[in-house]
Structure 1
Amino acid sequence: MGSMKRNSSLASRRMGALACGTALACLVPVSVLAQEQAADAQTAADQDDQIIVTARFRPETIQETPISITALTGEMLEQRGVQSVEGIARATPNITLERNTAGYGKSVIAYIRGVGQSDFLPAFEPGVGIYIDDVYHGTLFGSLFDFADVQQVEVLRGPQGTLFGKNNEGGAIRVTTREAQGDNTGYLEAGLGSFNRMTLRGAYDTSLVDDRVFLRVAGGFNNVDGYMDTIDFTCANPTLAGRIPSQVPASASGDCRTGTLGGQQTFALRGNLRILATDDLEISINADLLDDKGEPAAEKLIDVNTDGTSPLALYQPGSPFGSDPTGYGIPFDKRFITNDPYTSYVNFTDSRNGLTFPRVSNVRSWGVSGKVEWDINPDLNFTSISAYRTYRGEFIENWGASPIHINDNYFKPYHDQFSQELRLNGRIGDLAEWTVGGFYYTGLTELNDYIYIPLVNFAFFGVDPVRDRDLSGFAHVVLTPTDRLSFEAGLRYSDISKTYTFNRYLPNTGNPPATLPGFENNPAVRSTTSRVDYRLSASYDITPDVMTYAVFSTGFKGPGVNPRPSSAAELLSFDEEELTAYEIGLKADFLDGRVRANLSAYRSDYSNLQLTVVRVLPSGVPGSITANAGKARIQGFEGEFTLEPVDNLMVNASVGYLDFQYLDLGDAANQPGGPCLTCVAAYVPEWSFTAGAQYDFDLGDVGTLTPRIDYAYKSQVFSDAANYGPGAIPGYGLWNARLSYTTPDEDFNVSLQVNNLTDKFYFVNKFQGYFALGTLVGQPAMPRTFLLTLRHNFQ
């Protein structure tokens, strides 16, 4: 099979770049002028079975791209059962993408090679950039979304920013949806699955003006019930409940259920209008709408700390708050831990004062973007990307995960952003290709939060507006002095600022309301930086099928503001953290393309780390302090392999190793709840491994039957900087399986997807509040689930 064979000659690269300019396999059109060759390019791509990527904004295969990159087509995502952002990690080494805790709403924990971010607050910059159709998403909240009509996903490791978009310290995830082709094709798919899951999605592609104006519309619906039951504690444990009132009627006949956690109902709509204004000018307009309504995440109480240093010591008889500090005649202790891993005693009404919070975790978002591609001449191309995005969310967290409320956080975040990107791409014969561009981003995020700690009668609400601005310029050049040797150099200048205004209004104190001491004038804290980052690399084709490369790059995660102050003394900013990265790699095809091995080794020097320590603040209430501290070294390797031993059998595997070591902790040394020199970064596994195999059974006139099996493993991770043992998530491996049948004419497809095939119990995440809050809570993953789908393709 020549399916993975890489063309090495410079001439073939140039022809491929032109011919693929508007092919469906390409992520972004590079040359409208190349449309005359598009059909031939698509046929060639199908025959060569190559994935075309545009990480350097020219169409090329993965094997031609001298960077560490993983690319998954929409078909590959379906084959692996990947239906949302976090599923990408099951097919990519050294990457963490997980759902966040209930207290962080619909946000994602995102790390690449040990660098990223987990806290959703806009006081922090994401360490990994997430893009949809080249539009940057400015916050971690709202970045946890299901895939809809996806063409391709690219995962770029290491600092990015000399070629496109915003500075990305750890790397970037680029999701590209399908562009309109005007070919009157589409599909309609319906599915049924576990926990009463119902799905419906479809798309249609049509031509509005022959050969000039095309429209593609896609949409979907997904509904699934919660997989964790909430149990009324008094109903289930009447002898242990003291005076806690029951939430279920006496006529409930022994059913103590009060609801579920983890349920979700999602509507999504997306459209792409593509206009070929002239042979040299293309305009693409994207619009999308998402309405994601859900229950709070399926979170449960795991452990309770009632020692003297814990806030829960105040909930024990004989504390300074009297013989009955809870008000229910019982202490807060381990009685609130359920025996069943998929049940919780949590409720969302504090009966002591009748305060009730909605059981929700919602986000509603929409956006529109316009992309203009102008071929000024055969060697010069101009691109403009203008975009606006906004969302509104709502979510609740009961940090005690119990019927006695100790700390409740209720958020209704609002966000809007505008971004503008300009790029000019050119080439000088066969010697050089260059890019210069600029990026502008402005965003406003409001938390609209209500924080409630009932024991000490502490509560406040605030808008907390956060304004971000980024004005950057970048330049990149690729020099190819010979057919085998190329050099790259890139620069990026960034000028960014973040302004956080703090509101701490006291409820029920009149109009205007009173504020906490020190917050009377809504103080604002501003953090800024301006800096230059750069990238140097070289690649060499040892043979037409073997290429080696080396990369040196720098990057940073922008400065921020300590987001959870409880006094004016904690109104502090922190500086950017910095990364200097080194990488060498090898990309090779063997046996006429039947074996592929892509290998890389890397080292990152990490300094001025932005570390958050969760602890009891000097004011006496739980909180956290974020500051720059110390240095770390990250090193490791990755391997990605593809094997086709016989026709129709495809085997893929990957392995990742990451060694994280603190070299200096600076001011964070010996801080309660802080890191230690032998600690490792939170949510970053030392080992990750994936493997999968599928075989296409050709049934002749009957059709094609394709079974597939996938396995993904990651080693132990910690959930906090201090690496608290019970807060660790042990290493685990997951099996997923899929069986699909396609009719001979490919008009119909039936598939059965089974996730977590062995019904493995594990935690997606944990929140380590054992010392600051007195509780350890965690979010169990879903048990074994299945999804049966029927799809009809319009051709």
Structure 2
Amino acid sequence: MRRHRRGLMKRTACLLRIRCGTALSSAALFAATGAAAQNVPAPAVDAAAPVAATDQAQAAAPEQATDGKDIVVTAQFRGQRVQDTPIAITAVSGAALEARAQTSITDIGNFAPNVNIQPAYSSFGSSINAFIRGVGQNDSNFALEPGVGLYIDDIYYGATFGAVFDLTDLERVEVLRGPQGTLAGKNSLGGAVKLYSQKPDGSGDGYAEATVGSYRRIDLRAGFDLKLADDLFMRVSGVSKHRKGFVDRLDYGCVNPGEGIAASPRDGASCKIGTEGDQNLNAVRLALRYAPAGRLELNLIGDYVEDTSSSVAAKLLYADNPNIRSYVAGDPAGGVPFDSRFMTGSKSYTIYNSYSNGGNYTTVFGTPYQVVPGGFTTEPRNEVKSWGIAGTIDYDLGGGFRAKSITGYRKADGYSTTDLDGSPLDLGLNAGSFGYDQFTQELRLSAQLHDLADITVGGFYYDSSSYIRQRVEFPTVLLDFLTDDPISSTSKSLFGHAEFHLGPKLNLIGGLRYTKDRKTYQFSRRNADGSAISGVPLTTNFTVAGLDGLSSTFEGDRVDYRLGVNFRFSDALMTYAQVSTGFKGGGVNPRPYNAAQARSFGPETLTTYEAGFKSDFLGRRARLNGAVFLNKYNDIQLSLLACPDVPCALPANAGDADVLGFELEGNLEPVDGLTFAGTVGYLDFDYRRVDAATGISRDAVAPFVSRWTASGSVEYAHDLGRGRITPRIDWSYYTRFFFNADNGIGSDVPGRSLFNARLTYETADRDWSLSAGVTNIFDKFYYVGKNTNIVGYGVNQGILGRPREFSVTLKRKF
């Protein structure tokens, strides 16, 4: 580890690298339907196929998808088998997700190589840290852009607010690795995760499912399909998930009487005052589809989500800053220091977190600070309520031409709280509300020119507004202020994609997209009582004086391209090579500490050189796909900790890197019913340039980059005559990664290896099924992320992974 400078201003600068950004409240799959498509794939079949043919292919896809061999994907605007698509893509059917008992988007990284998707720290609400091939975003403030695109039903999510999607009523999941700048647009430079739900077809089918399990888990899921009239179909689906937290929050004063911290008032004799990691979610989705036997198809989707889950469970791992004390008024020297007494053991599911800012403190400037009269108390909360509506019009113009319009609106509001020090003291407490709404419109025109080419051109428009209203409170550095920051963003793009068929085996691919972005961030900084900040040195909030009423704007444009060739040697082997680009949008520094720091930064860009193959053999009982790639990663957005004006945590385009890697995916079915599957991924991240002002060493690696990832499974479906029984074991693995870009002390997240198992019995008619499952079989204690600020105010928290849990699921199909 590199040596850290420990001067007062350095410690203060690190402390002030506050994530007073957006809350990302949890949402189900249904939450995504109201956002708009950002130029993602169109019909599930050929772009020029009539609607009737589209219906047939979509109806066939679930049957094909169950064996994992012939899943139809739409990554290139038309329906293609995975083995015919010259992109590194992992496709998993809804049936396979169910067999694995995977119900959250954070489970997706467990089966795709070089993919890391983890729940984020709760200062951003219920959000995710999504990374593909070493590219992503671990800061979810609205001012910053994600590095992995998220889509549901070809609908783009412009923010990760509410991005912990529930995998309910899905037809398939596609994970595209590598930049998708021409196919999917901005913010997909690492790749894209696309979820596709079941469309209404009027079949009259449905299902109802109930799961009970550890920590009082009760999950209810249901969906049904109806034919309302000729050519008019409806599908309704819903989910309700409830589970108690797996981490106990203890009252420090009760557990440790006589140490200078008073116990909280409570009922009963227990020192337990609550839990973290609770889950409470309800969502419903309604889809209407009009598909007459002709050229037209209309889809209208509406949804509502209410998530009142608690904060993500975070455990204090390091506490060592004796200069910060909770003291008795008038006697700072006799106070309680912030040290290891507040740690509850390295492998226990207990914490001393407090969500109150009562008490008095010494500051890093050596002065007393009394938290009066603005004290407040709250509970660990990660809440979001959202709704959306989306409509698509798909029309066959004839002659091989097709037009499609996708329109959407989504609105979400939430509230979250975070104990940033993980102790009963009050070194840092964030509480606030967040909101986001977006309107999007996309138009596409596709053409199938006989056997010569498949071409798609179009345009995309995105308009969003959001707000951040928080009380940001760090008494040890004299900060206790209110924010009310509106952010507006627009994006416009024109795109084109073409596949030229030079014969039955050889294809050339070209794509181009032009994007123009604008984002404005307006700053509001007021004292906790709403009054204006005086700015007098060494008084509360003096470092942020002068920001109130300021605004800063980013504007820029970008051209992305894709050039590729693929050749099919036989029905069993296809190879491809391509160069593709993508970018993560620029933005505005959301955490300035003076007017000079309220400025914008540019986009980061990626160019990938990739070659791969897709193969089937042993009579299609075996499959092996692979890719090798080199990423040229430029203008990486990093935070500067050394600026002309200190303190600072200023995002800047301060680094370039090379990322070399490979991926393999395979499966084998040696006999009917017995299936083996596995993946492996490798990444070698190497900075070519990094600005010294970031404090980052050339030897560091980007956040959430594991050198190795791997997964495996074995399943055997055995026919009993009167039914079928299927045991299954899944395994996932990744090596160590870092949470912070500087790879600082304590920011490393150790690697882990997890095993899950599931046993399912189905009746002969497949109408009833009963499953028993266990996750984390060996009860591995592990972390999925960190919140590290050891150099700043001497704290390190680990975001806990879930312990071993048991469940039983009963499902009825009708």
The answer to whether TM tops 0.5 is: yes
Q: Which of 525, 529, 550 in structure 2 is aligned with 1:523?
A: 550
Q: Judge conservation of contact 1:195–1:226 (CA < 8 Å) in 2.
A: yes
Q: How far does residue 725 in structure 1 lie from its aligned partner after superposition?
A: 3.9
Secondary structure of the residue that 1:722 maps to in structure 2? coil
Residue 38 of structure 2 corresponds to none
Letter in 2 for 1:586: F
Residue 331 of structure 1 corresponds to 337
Residue 188 of structure 1 corresponds to 208
Q: Which of 311, 325, 336 in structure 2 is aligned with 1:296?
A: 311
Secondary structure of the residue that 2:237 maps to in structure 1? strand
Q: Judge conservation of contact 1:21–1:35 (CA < 8 Å) in 2.
A: no
Letter in 1 for 2:86: P
Alignment of 1:349-498 (within 5 A): 349-352=356-359, 353=372, 354-498=375-519
Q: Judge conservation of contact 2:48–2:447 (CA < 8 Å) in 1.
A: no
Residue 325 of structure 2 corresponds to 315
Residue 12 of structure 1 corresponds to none
Structure 2 Cα separation of the partners of residues 733 and 512 of structure 1: 51
Number of aligned positions between the proteins:
752
Letter in 2 for 1:184: G
Q: How far does residue 393 in structure 1 lie from its aligned partner after superposition?
A: 1.1
Q: How far does residue 62 in structure 1 lie from its aligned partner after superposition?
A: 0.3
Residue 347 of structure 1 corresponds to 354
Structure 2 Cα separation of the partners of residues 467 and 247 of structure 1: 42
Residue 298 of structure 2 corresponds to 283
Structure 2 Cα separation of the partners of residues 39 and 534 of structure 1: 30
Alignment of 1:233-248 (within 5 A): 233-239=252-258, 241-242=259-260, 244-248=261-265
Q: Which of 657, 668, 671 in structure 2 is aligned with 1:646?
A: 671
Structure 2 Cα separation of the partners of residues 560 and 59 of structure 1: 35
Residue 162 of structure 2 corresponds to 142
Structure 1 Cα separation of the partners of residues 642 and 160 of structure 2: 23
- Per-residue CA deviations over 1:741-771 (Å, capped at 9, x if unaligned) read 1000111011112111110000011111111
Change (3 A) 1:693 1:617: farther
Residue 549 of structure 1 corresponds to 576
Letter in 2 for 1:453: F
Q: How far does residue 329 in structure 1 lie from its aligned partner after superposition?
A: 2.6
Residue 3 of structure 1 corresponds to none
Structure 2 Cα separation of the partners of residues 571 and 322 of structure 1: 38
Q: Which of 88, 91, 111 in structure 2 is aligned with 1:71?
A: 91
Q: How far does residue 59 in structure 1 lie from its aligned partner after superposition?
A: 1.2
Q: How far does residue 375 in structure 1 lie from its aligned partner after superposition?
A: 0.3
Q: How far does residue 721 in structure 1 lie from its aligned partner after superposition?
A: 1.2
Structure 2 Cα separation of the partners of residues 181 and 317 of structure 1: 67
Structure 1 Cα separation of the partners of residues 216 and 786 of structure 2: 27
Q: Judge conservation of contact 2:248–2:349 (CA < 8 Å) in 1.
A: yes
Structure 2 Cα separation of the partners of residues 540 and 150 of structure 1: 32
Secondary structure of the residue that 1:252 maps to in structure 2? coil
Secondary structure of the residue that 1:726 maps to in structure 2? coil
Change (3 A) 1:47 1:624: closer
Q: Which of 744, 750, 762 in structure 1 is aligned with 2:770?
A: 750
Bigger mean CA offset, 471-480 vs 517-526:
517-526
Q: How far does residue 569 in structure 1 lie from its aligned partner after superposition?
A: 2.2
Unpaired runs of 5+ residues, structure 1, are: 1-19, 307-311
Q: Judge conservation of contact 1:21–1:30 (CA < 8 Å) in 2.
A: no
Is 1:661 matched with 2:661? no
Change (3 A) 1:337 1:617: farther
Q: Which of 560, 566, 570 in structure 2 is aligned with 1:539?
A: 566
Structure 2 Cα separation of the partners of residues 314 and 37 of structure 1: 67
Change (3 A) 1:497 1:765: same
- Per-residue CA deviations over 1:400-456 (Å, capped at 9, x if unaligned) read 111110111112110000111111110111011100011110111101111012234
Computed over aligned residues only, the root mean square deviation of the Cα atoms, in angstroms, reads 2.5
Change (3 A) 1:245 1:389: same
Change (3 A) 1:409 1:334: same
Structure 2 Cα separation of the partners of residues 616 and 238 of structure 1: 45
Q: Which of 138, 156, 174 in structure 2 is aligned with 1:154?
A: 174
Structure 2 Cα separation of the partners of residues 29 and 84 of structure 1: 34
Q: Which of 592, 602, 613 in structure 1 is aligned with 2:619?
A: 592
Q: How far does residue 158 in structure 1 lie from its aligned partner after superposition?
A: 1.3
Residue 163 of structure 1 corresponds to 183
Letter in 2 for 1:508: D
Secondary structure of the residue that 2:194 maps to in structure 1? strand
Q: How far does residue 230 in structure 1 lie from its aligned partner after superposition?
A: 0.7
Is 1:57 matched with 2:77? yes
Secondary structure of the residue that 1:455 maps to in structure 2? helix
Structure 1 Cα separation of the partners of residues 615 and 456 of structure 2: 28
Q: Which of 628, 635, 638 in structure 2 is aligned with 1:611?
A: 638
Letter in 1 for 2:337: P
Secondary structure of the residue that 1:88 maps to in structure 2? helix
Letter in 2 for 1:347: S
Q: Which of 209, 230, 234 in structure 2 is aligned with 1:215?
A: 234
Q: How far does residue 130 in structure 1 lie from its aligned partner after superposition?
A: 0.2
- Per-residue CA deviations over 1:461-514 (Å, capped at 9, x if unaligned) read 111111111000100110011100000000000001111111111122559999
Q: Judge conservation of contact 1:248–1:256 (CA < 8 Å) in 2.
A: no
Residue 566 of structure 1 corresponds to 593
Structure 1 Cα separation of the partners of residues 565 and 666 of structure 2: 23
Unpaired runs of 5+ residues, structure 2, are: 1-40, 360-371, 536-540
Bigger mean CA offset, 37-46 vs 433-442:
37-46
Structure 2 Cα separation of the partners of residues 196 and 614 of structure 1: 45
Structure 2 Cα separation of the partners of residues 547 and 509 of structure 1: 64
Residue 13 of structure 1 corresponds to none
Residue 120 of structure 2 corresponds to 100
Q: How far does residue 146 in structure 1 lie from its aligned partner after superposition?
A: 1.4
- Per-residue CA deviations over 1:155-195 (Å, capped at 9, x if unaligned) read 11111132345552111111111100101000000110000
Q: Judge conservation of contact 1:136–1:165 (CA < 8 Å) in 2.
A: no
Q: Which of 702, 709, 716 in structure 2 is aligned with 1:688?
A: 709
- Per-residue CA deviations over 1:554-578 (Å, capped at 9, x if unaligned) read 1111111111112112112111111
- Per-residue CA deviations over 1:54-112 (Å, capped at 9, x if unaligned) read 11121111000011111111111111121010100011000110000122211100111
- Per-residue CA deviations over 1:648-675 (Å, capped at 9, x if unaligned) read 111110000000000111xx3264xx32
Letter in 2 for 1:462: T
- Per-residue CA deviations over 1:714-735 (Å, capped at 9, x if unaligned) read 0000111111242211111000
Q: How far does residue 542 in structure 1 lie from its aligned partner after superposition?
A: 1.1
Provide the identity percentage. 38
Q: How far does residue 549 in structure 1 lie from its aligned partner after superposition?
A: 0.1
Q: How far does residue 28 in structure 1 lie from its aligned partner after superposition?
A: 10
Letter in 1 for 2:497: H
Q: Judge conservation of contact 1:27–1:176 (CA < 8 Å) in 2.
A: no
Q: Judge conservation of contact 1:21–1:32 (CA < 8 Å) in 2.
A: no
Q: Judge conservation of contact 1:696–1:704 (CA < 8 Å) in 2.
A: yes
Compute the TM-score of the two structures, normalised by the length of structure 2: 0.89
Bigger mean CA offset, 584-593 vs 507-516:
507-516
Is 1:637 matched with 2:652? no
Residue 605 of structure 2 corresponds to 578
